[in-house]
Structure 1
Amino acid sequence: MTEPKTPHLSNIEKWRKWKTEKDIEAKKQLIEQYLPLVDYVTSRMAIGLPKTVSKDDLYSNGVMGLIDAIEKFDYERGLQFETYASWRIRGGIIDGLRQGDWVPRSVRDKAKRIEEAYQLLEQKYLRSVTDAEISDYLNVSEKEFTGILQEIAVTTICSLEDPIREEESETRLSLLVDEKAKNPDYKVHEFYLKESLVKGIERLTEKERTVVSLFYYEELSLSEIAEVMSLSPSRISQLHSKAILRLRGALAKNKDQLLQNT
């Protein structure tokens, strides 16, 4: 005797049955429906990661992020689930990468030094600083600076998911995704942090802004961006790294100022 087929539910009906009735079958259907999103995010994040990082592991962690998104998403708010889930999937993958400690401490230290250099020099000069000025501050040649950027490139792919401060859970991306209404004090902090992000983007060079826009908003891969801009993939990787390190420095500076004023 064959088992009766599970009825195919409409999308809104799946969400209703899962959220209001805790129907496990509806949840399974939602997971299956959005698994291609995990494939997409995993493929994008795998670009530039060391070959030692298993894509299967990335996918598994991404699925956990998807499940987390389905459990926490409020479908009645009329928001786009794909956008919300993409951040949760990325978060799941990055949590897995952190647990695997895939980036050597020395590489993280180099990234931190450059981030601090951007933060201090751009605060001092009130403008976008050049590679020569950063190299001089770090006491390295411009060629060595370029090599360092290439070395730390893989760390900047995930950097917007990192906490603003090491001891906190608030991430830079949390400034861009409004999951629930926050209290007034939080909204004030959020406003100034978003303002800092906007100012940081304005301080990027034209090429850096283009790379950030194409990668994070148009969702092109680094190799696709290289083709669009007629530059080498390694050059695009360097531009991306510099852009992210500038933004991280700007956000960290703003966060410190807010803490001093509270």
Structure 2
Amino acid sequence: MMSYAAVMHFQQYADTSQNRDRMIEAYLPLVKRIVQRIACRLPASVDIDDLYHAGVLGLIQAIDHFDPTKENRLATYATFRIRGAVLSELRSRDVITRTNRKKVRAYDATRERLTHELGRDPEFEEIAAAMGIGLDELNAVCQQAAVAVFSLEELGVEEGEDKDLCLNALQDPSETDPSEEIIRLQLKQMLSDAIRKLTQREQTVLSLYYVEELTLKEIGRVLDLTESRICQIHSQALSKLRQMLRQQMDGTDICKQKR
């Protein structure tokens, strides 16, 4: 936590428009890096400039709303807001087509069915054969699956007040009310429990990708595996998480309005 003197210095510095502009300019490379990382998994039809503009707006909001008494580092808070703004832009454009969403759901269902039938995680080739598609097409499906990890609707959260409540809880934690904070902590615990049920290799890939922010190719070098194999492990881990989160959400009253 910042000292009182440091807090006052930050507030006095950011209060002037000239210094605010300097702070925005200093963090623009962060916007570019986040956008490039997200864009590498998106269809070529997506306009990267639009995502960059959304990220810049997220950065500006981060600087304007940053509270040094609650946050340790502006970079951490800005990363959260920038990524959220870019993902919101993607959601509004729905870059995953209906056909590709059906393929992702088919992949999840096939992997789940084969796991029960075989008593183990199915091989990539077995999933492709069961779906009646080639490995190249399955790889393309997995890349699409990485863009849309899951939707609230897939977790049983219906449109309307329930969805709004859940979305609000997933926004900036410093701006949620007590009831939304409870929901956020419950969702965080559910995800944590699900991740712990993944294999050690799957957990490692997710950690290197989402926490350490390595590319799939870089993770392949670390684990001495091909990039395509890392992509398969990544996709399988996300598929498992979608399945486990759906099961955990089923029958719970998380994100339900108290009526």
* TM-score bracket for this pair, using the shorter chain length: 0.7 to 0.9
**Pairwise CA distance, 1:186:** 4.1
1:59 to 52, 55, 70: 52
Percent identity (aligned): 30
Q: Distance in 1 between matches of 2:136 and 2:240?
A: 15
| Other structure's SS at 1:51 match | coil
Q: Is the 8 A contact 2:41 2:146 kept in 1?
A: no
Q: Distance in 2 between matches of 1:200 and 1:186?
A: 21
The AA in structure 2 aligned to 1:148 is: L
* Residue number in structure 2 paired with 1:8: none
* Residue number in structure 1 paired with 2:61: 68
After TM superposition, the structure 1 stretch with the greater mean CA deviation from structure 2, 185-194 or 63-72, is 185-194
After TM superposition, the structure 1 stretch with the greater mean CA deviation from structure 2, 143-152 or 68-77, is 143-152
TM-score, length of structure 2 as denominator length: 0.74
* Residue number in structure 1 paired with 2:216: 222
* Residue number in structure 2 paired with 1:6: none
The AA in structure 1 aligned to 2:78 is: A
The AA in structure 1 aligned to 2:170 is: S
Q: Distance in 2 between matches of 1:253 and 1:196?
A: 10
Cα-Cα RMSD: 3.8
TM-score, length of structure 1 as denominator length: 0.73
**Pairwise CA distance, 1:153:** 1.4
**Pairwise CA distance, 1:62:** 1.3
Q: Distance in 2 between matches of 1:85 and 1:180?
A: 15
2:24 to 23, 27, 31: 31
| Other structure's SS at 2:252 match | helix
Please list the CA deviations of residues 64-109 of structure 1 after superposition, one character each: whole Å capped at 9, or x if unmatched.
Answer: 2212222332222133221222122112222222333322111112
1:179 matched to 2:170: no
Q: Return 5+ residue gaps in structure 1 as ranges.
A: 1-10
Q: Is the 8 A contact 1:150 1:237 kept in 2?
A: no
| Other structure's SS at 1:52 match | coil
* Residue number in structure 2 paired with 1:159: 149
| Other structure's SS at 1:96 match | helix
* Residue number in structure 1 paired with 2:247: 253
**Pairwise CA distance, 1:216:** 1.1
* Residue number in structure 2 paired with 1:84: 77
Please list the CA deviations of residues 176-211 of structure 1 after superposition, one character each: whole Å capped at 9, or x if unmatched.
Answer: x6324642x445444433332122112212221111
The AA in structure 2 aligned to 1:130 is: D
1:102-113 matched pairs, under 5 angstroms: 102-113=95-106
Q: Is the 8 A contact 1:226 1:236 kept in 2?
A: yes
